[in-house]
Copies of this chain bind each other. A is one copy, B any other.
């Protein structure tokens, strides 16, 4: 089978008014992404809030995604469950559904030593009916270190790649230096779109980027420009995606900023699975207006009716400025100004 490469979308999951999976919208979203050029789909990732769904819902999500995809792009299915036995059941289920591979996050909640992280992945790799990629996200789960990655890559052909969301460039280089000599087929994907182009330069094969839920055209274009040798062009987009990424990531609980921005592309994502206070909802609305302006600059949506002031790069100030802007607009509309 061919090596995984390019931009994979860790899919957001649209919910209906009752908080249930909105199947119709998910299908529409999947096809929309494929049409805009994503190279692959990655359901049940952190962006897909896999921990907030039940085991049955996680299976249903992959089922919908693979069915709607209908073989158009490779599907990398998040398969981590409560324990190895349950995870292996999920691996089998996703193999049967036609996933290209599964992605398994390192054990979380408990923070484990490298030896335990190795033992965990080794047991899965030994028994999995489908190729698997490791998923390193040290801010949320036990870290996977370089020695462990090399050990797993050297011992298990079933382990075909790693997604790393640390954003640490030197760490990625250490992994590549340790693994590639023995496993030239091994795939390295970054989960940190803030540095996608530099990651491609040091040898990554692509990325799984939450932002590709929102601007799939842009993440694809960045990849294509870089592969075509236009580093400068790619870097210009890199700086713009950084602004968007920061505005979706930091002022919101993850992945709510990405959900809010994807709404602006014309999908109904619903309220999310975590309860929110009134204060939070108001804040999200104000932040969403800034996201609207950033997306308008990308020429992917029309600017808001009130227009957009010049941004200053500090999301707190930009939010405030946008709110003032809207109030003035409203006052003008009402003939007060």
Q: A residues touching B (Cβ–Cβ < 8 Å)?
A: 19, 46, 51-55, 82-86, 107-113, 115-116, 118-120, 122-123, 139-141, 147, 150, 167-170, 173-174, 177-178, 192, 194-195, 197-198, 201-203, 231, 235, 238-239, 242-243, 246, 253-254, 273-277, 279-280, 313-314
Contact = CB atoms under 8 A, between A and B. Distances in A.
A119 B274 contact: yes
B111 A82 contact: no
A150 to B, nearest CB: 8
A253 B115 CA distance: 10
Nearest to A242: B173
A92 to B, nearest CB: 16
Nearest to A256: B116
Contacts of A170: 167, 192, 194-195, 242
A84 B120 contact: no
Given A170-B242, A198-B202, A239-B173, A140 B116 contact: no
A20 B194 CA distance: 44
B177 A314 contact: no
A275 B231 contact: no
10 contacts: A52-B82, A109-B140, A110-B254, A116-B253, A119-B274, A174-B246, A177-B239, A177-B313, A178-B313, A202-B238
Contacts of A147: 314
B52 A83 contact: yes
B139 A111 contact: yes
A276 B119 contact: yes
A234 to B, nearest CB: 10
Contacts of A139: 111
A236 to B, nearest CB: 11
Nearest to A254: B110
Contact of A169 (B123, B169, B254): B169
A272 to B, nearest CB: 10
Contacts of A246: 174
Contact of A276 (B116, B242, B273): B116
Contacts of A19: 83, 85
Contact of A177 (B53, B55, B197, B243): B243
Contacts of A118: 277
Given A55-B55, A276-B119, A140 B110 contact: yes
A188 B130 CA distance: 46
B235 A122 contact: no
Given A195-B198, A201-B231, 16 more contacts: A51-B82, A51-B110, A84-B273, A84-B274, A109-B140, A113-B253, A119-B275, A120-B274, A167-B170, A170-B194, A174-B313, A178-B313, A197-B201, A198-B198, A198-B202, A203-B235
Which 3 A-B pairs rank lowest in CB-CB distance, beginning with the nearest? A123-B275, A170-B194, A198-B198
